[in-house]
Structure 1
Amino acid sequence: MTTTGAHQDGTGTTARTWLWWGRRRSVALDVGLGLFSALECALEGVGFAEQAAVPVPIGVLFGLVVGSVLVLRRRWPIAVVLVSIAITPAEMGYLMGVVGLYTLAASEVPRRITALLAGMSLTATLIVTFVRVRQDVQSAGFDPEPGAWYVPTMAGFMSVGLTAPPVLFGLYIGARRRLMESLRERADSLEQELSLLADRAEQRAQWARTEERTRIAREMHDVVAHRVSLMVVHSAALQAVALKDPQKAVKNAALVGDMGRQALTELREMLGVLRAGDDEQRRVAPVPLAAVAAAAAAAAEAAAEDGPCIADVEDLVGQSRQAGMVVELAVQGEVRVYAPEVEQTAYRVVQEALTNVHKHAAGSKVMVRLAHRDAEVAMQVENGAPDAAGEAGVARLPSGGNGLVGMRERVLALGGVFVSGPTDSGGFRVSAVLPDRDPSDGQELPASVSL
């Protein structure tokens, strides 16, 4: 028998397609049933030939041909049932009738057609059985004769017994197949959804890792750039006065040491938070991808709680004054405590702005303003035009060009407003407004950053 193609079975493996059969086992089953049906009909064809007064070979040949139709039951179940109904008066094809009704009920044929053909088969079987039972009763010569109820009762039991079980069993098998197919499709759908969820979790984890790397880089920049900038400034001053004023040189050396220790302390605190997050992840095995985002958020929150606050701005200004910068600090409004991330962001904005003044406008005067308002805190750092004489006496500090970008990212992440740019007098101004609330609560953002 030739093959006509390939398909995938329920397990997803590729299987050969044999004509209208899906598997080789189905071919063997249907061919075997067809042979049994042909032999049955051939034997029953002998009696049919005697009753119809035709040669026996013709009756046997007719039975072989009609019985072999059962091979087509999967392809044309309606035709098989119609043939079985047609040969019922000849008292042939009982196996074909039973198997045909089962196949019809289990197939995707509309239920009204199944009910119609089952009713036709029941009627034909009832009529033939009624006639046969009555003939047997008359020829047997029972004494006493059975009642009038005997023949129809026996005919009814036999016809229902030959028709109802295969139809009901076929309906059950068909419903079970459809249920299994539905469950298989649902399982495939769930597998696809799980795959999509896994992809999204991986994307969220990648985003969390990127955000955490960005945050770490920003913290490292803020800590190192400011402290090291002041250390470089004091080192230049120390070199200039080492021989002329030893006492001032000792003072500058002590300031350099203090700033270095402060930078190391902040770095250790930052690395300690990161190590604590790593240790917590190692205690949970296996770690899901979605936990990376939670760990990053926890690390960010812990760093914010342990970081500097607005109250430390005064010390920050004092360090810049010790480095020779002329800095004025003005505070407006009632001082209060804000959320840890707001406190740290405000401190970092002022810190980075002062660092930029050390790098790019040495010797210029600086004005630092803090304004505590009803629902926000505003800060502004403005320096005048660079002093050429001051710049000549201070070592040129390198710049990575990421300071303003980092400040903007910090402020916008909290739902604030950030503005920076040159002033008309030749200086530079950095302004920011941070809301004292959750940026996701839907309130309107501040419209300006004026102080």
Structure 2
Amino acid sequence: MSATGVVEAASARGAPAGPWWWSRRRSMVLDVGLAIASAAECAAEGVVFADDARIPPLLGVLLGIVVGSTLVVRRRWPIAVVLIVIAVTPAEMGLLLGVVGLYTLAASEVPRRITAVLAGMAGSGTLIITMIRFQQDIGKGGWDPGLWAVPLVSVTMALGMTAPPVLLGLYVRARRRLVESLRERADGLERELSLLADRAEERAEWARNEERTRIAREMHDVVAHRVSLMVVHAAALQAVALKDPEKASKNAALVGDMGRQALTELRQMLGVLRSEDGQRSGGGAAAPAAPEEKRVPLAAVAVAASAAAQAAGAAAREAEPLDGPRLAELDALVGQSRAAGMTVELSVEGEERRYASRVEQTAYRVVQEALTNVHKHAPGASARVRVAHRADEIAVLVENGPSERGAADAGLPSGGNGLVGMRERVSTLGGGFVSGPTEAGGFRVSAVIPDRTGAEQAESADAPAEELKDVARAKTA
């Protein structure tokens, strides 16, 4: 870096650039004022030098003005100013010029080797001139202070003129570098936290999308299954209304029960949606609006990033259904299909046990949607439901035969999302899903769902927030 590296860095950070090489106008005013004071001092000392050198006083004054005025370029060419100080040392002029020049040289980005050499040359020159002048004064005064007086006075004068400004300049240089490194470190941390905040916001948006998809699947399963059974019972009710009033009454009661169950589940899901929307709108109203075109403070970025990451974790945790169907309700589910006239065989293998709520609900929904598809696309066909409890997973198989009525479809509307929704449910939990026709002309749906607890998912969702906190603590330490 050049001697003007500090000025260039300041200008790059957006500081108002002054004329020529000055970064600010007050720096220019300071240098001009120092140059005027140095020129006046050197002009006065030039008169004494002209008398000793036996040259016209005007020439000595002009030389002093020129030499002292060079202080105005101390920030641009500090080495040149110190060389001029060394050159005019025999003339015994430029006290202010020497002190300010050495300080500027030590505080600039000039390599320390050059600073040490020039400071040593300036100190040596001052030492020699002081020693010569002191001996001359002793000879004129006619007194003998001893051999120790001349070296002591000369060394003291040389160190007093050289060491303080050099040490002060080195201190200012080190402090300036420290401030620059801290500023760069803070800027880097701010960029890093901004990236983490963006990543956390993306995770939060992803979690919200997953939540919307999950709710859409739930509503599809509830509406499609219940309404399909209601349509089947309504058709049966229409067929036997006049022939068998008792059976028609029983079917009507079943239709009413299914309608009430569908409404109850829809109300539960809508209640969850309202509570989530209220929490999000409340959180958004409390957030202050950020002023435009202002640099975001580092602490604000850290808080925003941590809040966004926590929001992502909360959204992911909220995706865990709090109250949903369980595997123990499969008997009731199969009973509803049997009541609709379908022959359903339910077999359970292995030792029954409790799984994570999402695992049990997914297995239940797979069976529910598979039976719904049988009602829609294979009316009159028999179905077989197999549930296998294993050590760390649960397997579900729903298989139906060909329709006994010879109809390819019951005429119920279908959006084509049933199999897609089942595959998404199982894949979200890391399981496997296979569906397709059988050789006998029926259809088979098979799913294997691993048993994973919600604690692991909550831990992975909270990972960005913990990462942000660790980075903030490490960077601010």
TM-score, length-scaled by structure 1: 0.88
- Which letter maps to 2:254? L
**Alignment-derived partner of residue 226 in structure 1:** 225
Unaligned residue ranges in structure 1 (runs of 5+): 1-5, 442-451
Once residues 19 and 434 of structure 1 are traced to their aligned partners in structure 2, the CA distance between those partners, rounded to angstroms, is 73
| Equivalent residues of 1:208, 1:292 under 8 A apart | no
**Alignment-derived partner of residue 408 in structure 1:** 423
Q: What is the correspondence of 1:181-260 to structure 2 with a 5 Å cutoff?
A: 181-260=180-259
Match of 1:364 among 378, 381, 384: 381
Shift of the 23–202 alpha-carbon distance from structure 1 to 2, 3 Å rule, reads: same
Cα distance, 1:435 vs. partner? Answer: 2.2
Once residues 62 and 374 of structure 1 are traced to their aligned partners in structure 2, the CA distance between those partners, rounded to angstroms, is 99
- Report 1 or 2 for greater relative contact order, CA contacts < 8 Å, sequence distance ≥ 6: 2
**Alignment-derived partner of residue 332 in structure 1:** 349
Once residues 291 and 44 of structure 1 are traced to their aligned partners in structure 2, the CA distance between those partners, rounded to angstroms, is 73
Give CA deviations for 1:385-404 in whole Å, capped at 9, x if unaligned. Answer: 23445678x5x211111111
Shift of the 344–272 alpha-carbon distance from structure 1 to 2, 3 Å rule, reads: same
- Secondary structure class of the residue paired with 2:250: helix
Q: What is the correspondence of 1:251-330 to structure 2 with a 5 Å cutoff?
A: 251-275=250-274, 277=276, 288-303=307-322, 306-330=323-347
Cα distance, 1:273 vs. partner? Answer: 4.1
- Secondary structure class of the residue paired with 1:430: strand
- Which letter maps to 1:290? A
**Alignment-derived partner of residue 350 in structure 1:** 367
Cα distance, 1:337 vs. partner? Answer: 2.4
Give CA deviations for 1:230-267 in whole Å, capped at 9, x if unaligned. Answer: 11111122122222221111111110111112122222
Give CA deviations for 1:105-149 in whole Å, capped at 9, x if unaligned. Answer: 00111111111111111111011112222222332345xx42332
| Equivalent residues of 1:366, 1:384 under 8 A apart | yes
| Equivalent residues of 2:381, 2:402 under 8 A apart | yes
Once residues 7 and 120 of structure 1 are traced to their aligned partners in structure 2, the CA distance between those partners, rounded to angstroms, is 30
Once residues 279 and 37 of structure 2 are traced to their aligned partners in structure 1, the CA distance between those partners, rounded to angstroms, is 72
Q: What is the correspondence of 1:7-26 to structure 2 with a 5 Å cutoff?
A: 9=10, 12-13=13-14, 15-26=16-27
| Equivalent residues of 1:38, 1:63 under 8 A apart | yes
TM-score, length-scaled by structure 2: 0.84
Aligned residues: 430
**Alignment-derived partner of residue 150 in structure 1:** 149
**Alignment-derived partner of residue 393 in structure 2:** 376
Once residues 202 and 193 of structure 1 are traced to their aligned partners in structure 2, the CA distance between those partners, rounded to angstroms, is 14
- In the alignment, does 2:72 pair up with 1:53? no
- Secondary structure class of the residue paired with 1:308: coil
* Mean CA deviation greater in 265-274 or 284-293: 284-293
Give CA deviations for 1:7-42 in whole Å, capped at 9, x if unaligned. Answer: 784794352342222222222222222222222222
Q: What is the correspondence of 1:85-164 to structure 2 with a 5 Å cutoff?
A: 85-142=86-143, 145-164=144-163
Cα distance, 1:89 vs. partner? Answer: 0.7
Give CA deviations for 1:297-341 in whole Å, capped at 9, x if unaligned. Answer: 3323243xx211222112111101111112222222333322222
**Alignment-derived partner of residue 432 in structure 1:** 447
Once residues 188 and 106 of structure 2 are traced to their aligned partners in structure 1, the CA distance between those partners, rounded to angstroms, is 29
Give CA deviations for 1:38-87 in whole Å, capped at 9, x if unaligned. Answer: 22222211111121122222222222222222222111111111110111
Shift of the 320–390 alpha-carbon distance from structure 1 to 2, 3 Å rule, reads: farther
- Secondary structure class of the residue paired with 1:331: strand
| Equivalent residues of 1:363, 1:391 under 8 A apart | no
| Equivalent residues of 2:343, 2:382 under 8 A apart | yes
- Secondary structure class of the residue paired with 2:17: strand
**Alignment-derived partner of residue 35 in structure 1:** 36
| Equivalent residues of 2:320, 2:454 under 8 A apart | no
- Secondary structure class of the residue paired with 1:75: coil
Shift of the 439–263 alpha-carbon distance from structure 1 to 2, 3 Å rule, reads: closer
**Alignment-derived partner of residue 432 in structure 2:** 417
Cα distance, 1:164 vs. partner? Answer: 0.9
- In the alignment, does 2:358 pair up with 1:341? yes
**Alignment-derived partner of residue 444 in structure 1:** none
State the structure with more CA Rg: 1
Unaligned residue ranges in structure 2 (runs of 5+): 1-6, 288-303, 457-477
- Secondary structure class of the residue paired with 2:430: coil
| Equivalent residues of 2:11, 2:17 under 8 A apart | no
Once residues 149 and 232 of structure 2 are traced to their aligned partners in structure 1, the CA distance between those partners, rounded to angstroms, is 122
